[in-house]
């Protein structure tokens, strides 16, 4: 449980944060590299400028507002499109 955490200058590298709870956390100069964020809650935490592109994000609990300015991979866009209610057809 990292609820309401004020996190500054932290690098989560190859970290297992599956099912962690960062509800309303504040991130400043925080990086997530090759980390497992599956089923992690980040609702209310601004991810602006945070690069999640190398992370496992299945089931990441966020809102559309939380993702504003977040850096993601093309594959992750498909997962996040569900927040918008989109159905992607190939």
90 within a domain of the structure (yes/no)? no
**DSSP code of residue 34:** S
The pTM for the full model equals 0.88
1 within a domain of the structure (yes/no)? no
Q: What is the predicted pLDDT for the residue at 85?
A: 87
Q: What is the predicted pLDDT for the residue at 87?
A: 84
Q: Domain count of the chain?
A: 1
Q: Please, which pLDDT band fits residue 88 given cuts at 50, 70 and 90? A: confident
CA 37 to chain centre: 7
40 within a domain of the structure (yes/no)? yes
17-54: per-residue pLDDT in tens?
999 999 999 999 999 999 999 999 999 999 999 999 99
Range of the domain at 18: 6-84
DSSP conformation letters of 42-53: -TT---TT-B-T
What is the CATH classification number for the domain harbouring 65?
Answer: 2.160.20.80
Nearest one of 81, 13, 68 to 42, comparing CA atoms = 68
Cβ-based burial of 21 (10 A; exposed 0-12, middle 13-18, buried ≥19): middle
């Amino acid at each position: 449980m990292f609820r309401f955490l004020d996190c500054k200058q932290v690098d989560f590298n190859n970290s297992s944060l599956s099912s962690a709870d960062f509800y309303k956390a504040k991130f400043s100069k925080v990086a997530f590299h090759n980390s497992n964020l599956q089923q992690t809650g980040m609702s209310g935490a601004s991810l602006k400028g945070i690069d999640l592109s190398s992370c496992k994000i299945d089931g990441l609990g966020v809102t559309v507002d939380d993702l504003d300015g977040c850096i993601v991979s093309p594959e992750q866009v498909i997962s996040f499109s569900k927040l918008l209610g989109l159905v992607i057809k190939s």
